[in-house]
Structure formats: C-alpha cells, structure tokens
C-alpha cells in the first residue's frame, strides 16, 4: 500500500531539505514521459473539479473528485473506489493490476472535505507511477517522487493549499515541505506560463509558494547562464581561469558547474534549470544550448 504523509497538530518542517531528490524526480519524469508527454499536462486541474462542499454527499462527492483527478492524470481506465477508516496516514491506495483501485482516506476527512481532493491527487499519482513503472528506491524518496510528479503534472497545488498553520495548530499533507511544494509548483508555472496563485485559499500556502518561487528563480540565475548575477559571473570567471591553467583541477564543492577537458578543448557542464539534466557545452564565450530532454533553449556565457 502506498501512503500519503500527514502532519496535523505537530510542527511542520520548513525549507528545502529534499531539494536534490525533488530535482532528480523532475528529471526522471521527463525521461519517462518525454517532452511531448509532459506537455500533455499543460493545463492544471481546475479548482471547480476538486471543490467539495459540506453539503455534498461524502461518498458520491469523493468518487466525483477521484474521477476528475483520474481524467486529469490521463488514466481513463482506472476506477477508484474510495472509503474511509481510522488510520495513521492521511490516505493509502492498493497498487494492483487494476482496473479498480481501492483508496482509503483517513476518517478525519469526513469533516475536512475541502482537503479530500489533495489526498486523492497524491494517491491517484501513485497509480500513475505504478503503471509507468517509475519509482525511486526507498519509501521516503518514492513518496517525494510522488509529491513532485503530482505537483508538476498540475494536481499538486491542492496539496500545497491544504497547508495551514497558526499559533495553536498546523496541517500539512504530503512529504515535501510547503516551500518545496511551492518550488515544484513554480517550476511548473515557468514551464507552462501559468499562475497558480489565484487558486490558493490558504494564506500560508501562498507564502510558501512565494518562497519556493524565489528558490526556483535561482535555478535560472546560475552561471554559466547569462542571467547569472555579478557575484556568480565573477566566481565563474575565476574557476574558468583555474581550469584553463591547471586542467583536471576539480571545481570547488557547492558550485553549480564543472569543467572538463577533452580533445576538443575545455567544456563546462551544468544542470538544465528546467529539467535538471546535465548539459555540456564548449567554453568559447556566448553559447546558446538546447537541452535534449526538455528542449529548453539556454543562453550561456561560458
């Protein structure tokens, strides 16, 4: 059974402790679905499709939202049967051959219906990844993969919107921190020219999105990209001179690029700011590079 993480009433972890795994998940998603496959999810799940009022029938409403998430994730023959019971986690799904999948939601969703869509989006993505044969080793990393894919494919804004925190209580669904959800959501927003901020009903979710967006912007401002700031460009120039004078000298830890010598001269490798696949380009001034995985065109000053 695949489970969705839950944090209710306990302190919520903030920041970006899983950032490298999140980036690896984005790369893995592009490799599995291809550029065209990912582009098939250019429109996010609409808020109206996940809306769940207090007067809606619990079971009929849950089935309606589950069907909407299934359609959004392009799983036309996956039938979700939703039930409720007392459990430690927020939700779980039995990953079988299908076509029917049994999703169990925590009993607390009987009275917290606004977050049923968030829980279902995570569980239905487990089904998608199961069918794609895409997984990471270990429960923790696999759940981070699931949260990342849910968000990048347009349904995970619900998971971030389920985050609420005040002086006496807190709630968060999923394994990513709120800021990491914001980071992935911003990466999606950049890729599809989409602004998810009007959909948030939680002020804390909007704040986390803002912080995640700032982190995502940093990915686009790292040398050798031309958008890098003055400090980064100066550090890059220093490292480039050292690589040219002393070939084979390793780059200092923590810098986002590495120099490599070869028969054709010095090359620099760095992570694509969109999909995080490594890109290698020759060191010869202004260069325009195209990522072979996500097709991003990058202006570089090498």
For position 1, what pLDDT does the model report? Answer: 43
Handedness of CA 117, 123, 124, 126 (dihedral sign): positive
pLDDT, tens digit, 9 for 90 and up, residues 69-83: 999 999 988 888 899
143-152, 156-165, 244-253: range with highest mean pLDDT: 143-152
Residue 167 confidence (pLDDT) above 80: no
For position 5, what pLDDT does the model report? Answer: 53
- pTM of the entire predicted model: 0.93
pLDDT, tens digit, 9 for 90 and up, residues 258-291: 998 866 789 999 999 999 999 999 999 999 999 9
Q: Which of 50-54, 153-157, 251-255, 295-299 has the lowest mean pLDDT?
A: 251-255
Residue 57 confidence (pLDDT) above 80: yes
286 burial (CB, 10 Å; 0-12 / 13-18 / 19+) is exposed
């Amino acid at each position: 059974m695949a489970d969705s993480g839950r944090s209710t009433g306990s302190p919520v972890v903030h920041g970006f402790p899983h950032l490298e795994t999140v980036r690896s998940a984005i790369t893995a998603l592009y490799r599995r679905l291809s550029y065209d496959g990912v582009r098939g999810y250019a429109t996010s799940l609409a808020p109206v499709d996940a809306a769940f009022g207090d007067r809606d029938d619990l079971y009929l409403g849950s089935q309606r939202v589950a069907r909407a998430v299934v359609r959004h994730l392009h799983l036309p023959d996956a039938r979700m049967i939703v039930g409720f019971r007392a459990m430690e986690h927020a939700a779980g799904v039995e990953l079988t051959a299908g076509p029917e999948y049994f999703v169990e939601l925590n009993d607390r969703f009987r009275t917290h219906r606004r977050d049923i869509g968030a829980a279902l989006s995570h569980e239905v993505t487990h089904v998608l990844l199961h069918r794609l044969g895409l997984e990471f080793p270990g429960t923790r990393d696999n759940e981070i993969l699931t949260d990342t894919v849910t968000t990048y494919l347009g349904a995970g804004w619900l998971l971030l919107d389920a985050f609420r925190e005040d002086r006496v209580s807190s709630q968060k669904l999923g394994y990513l921190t709120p800021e990491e959800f914001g980071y992935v959501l911003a990466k999606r927003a950049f890729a599809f020219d989409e602004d998810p901020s009007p959909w948030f009903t939680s002020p804390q979710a909007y704040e986390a999105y803002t912080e995640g967006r700032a982190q995502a912007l940093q990915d686009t401002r790292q040398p050798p990209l031309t958008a890098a700031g003055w400090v980064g460009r100066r550090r890059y120039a220093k490292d480039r001179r050292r690589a040219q004078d002393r070939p084979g000298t390793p780059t200092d830890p923590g810098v986002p690029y590495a120099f490599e010598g070869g028969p054709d001269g010095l090359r620099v490798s760095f992570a694509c700011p969109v999909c995080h696949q490594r890109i290698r380009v020759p060191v010869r001034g202004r260069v325009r590079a195209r990522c072979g995985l996500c097709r991003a065109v990058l202006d570089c000053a090498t």
